[in-house]
Amino acid sequence: MLGSSSNGGRTSSSSSSGGGLDYSFKILLIGDSGVGKSTMLLSFVSNTLHDLSPTVGVDFKIKQFTIGGKRLKFTIWDTAGQERFGTLTTSYYRGAHGIILVYDVTRRETFTNLSDVWAKEVELYSTNLECIKFLVGNKVDRESERVVSREEGMALAQKLKCYFFECSAKTRENVQQCFKDLTLKILEVPSLLEKGSIAVKKQKLKQKQVHQTPGDNGCCLS
Ligand SMILES: Nc1nc2c(ncn2[C@@H]2O[C@H](COP(=O)(O)OP(=O)(O)OP(=O)(O)O)[C@@H](O)[C@H]2O)c(=O)[nH]1
Ligand SMILES: [Mg+2]
């Protein structure tokens, strides 16, 4: 449930507190429990990795970075693969600019569930028609236990109209590259850029309202 969510360790790779941002994007990580979504997220936003407990409810982390001269803010949402969260599902998917569908190359059911369950949810609930989707096979460091081939992954990606990546959140192989490519693909879509730029303006307005105290405009002075 969303009620048990935390705002995670807010992580930022730049010292900017939000001012001067060009775009703000919402990214989702979805897939079965144990495929490595939270480990991928940690690997992307932090320099330290440790063993994680299954996610409870919904969590998110923030990362700010510059790419191609543009200052970006990613809010990356990470769900518990083992929970369904009913009526909150729609708000989770709403407005996402990028969605990463993750499976574990050593567990076939996590791969089949992507097409049987997760891709269907994306289709039903995501509101940005041009949202960028990535299909990611994780845990390639366990090559001897692999049961889903790279070719099968690529074929499913084509079917689901996703870009395809394989990575290891544990060794960090390809994780940064995956998020970088996702960013570059988002930056190529004008409708997503427009929405990402509106999101920055909305956030600035919100910050202004929060910081404005009643006495600020002098109306309460006698
Ligand atoms: N060998 C290996 N283990 C990994 C990799 N990524 C994650 N793991 C391990 O897999 C287990 C599950 O990882 P999580 O990141 O918690 O998985 P999750 O998808 O967030 O799971 P839920 O929160 O339950 O949905 C942990 O023990 C991780 O250390 C990887 O690339 N290789
Ligand atoms: Mg998790």
165 alpha carbon, distance to own chain's centre: 15
**Which atom of ligand 1 is the closest one to the Cα of 41?**
15
CA-nearest of 100, 130, 95, 98 to 114 is 100
Locate tokens 């307005």: which residue?
Answer: 205
The closest ligand to the CA of 105 turns out to be 1
**Mean pLDDT across the chain:** 85
Parallel/antiparallel/unpaired status of strands 70-79 and 58-67: antiparallel
Cα separations in angstroms, 142 against 55, 104, 148, 178: 22, 10, 12, 19
In short, whether 138's Cβ falls inside 6 Å of ligand 1 is yes
Confirm if 63 and 95 have CB atoms less than 8 A apart. no
The residue whose CA has the least distance to atom 14 of ligand 1 is 36
3-class secondary structure, 56 = coil
| Domains of the chain as residue ranges with CATH | 6-212 (3.40.50.300)
pTM, 2 dp: 0.86
The predicted pLDDT at position 214 comes to: 57
Residues in the chain with pLDDT < 50?
A: 1-17, 218-222
33 CA → ligand 1 middle, Å: 8
**Cα angle for residues 142, 146, 151 (degrees, 5° grid):** 125
3-class secondary structure, 213 = coil
In short, whether 169's Cβ falls inside 6 Å of ligand 1 is yes
31-60 pLDDT, tens digit per residue, is 999 999 999 999 999 877 777 788 888 889
The residue whose CA has the least distance to atom 11 of ligand 1 is 34
56 CA → ligand 2 middle, Å: 7
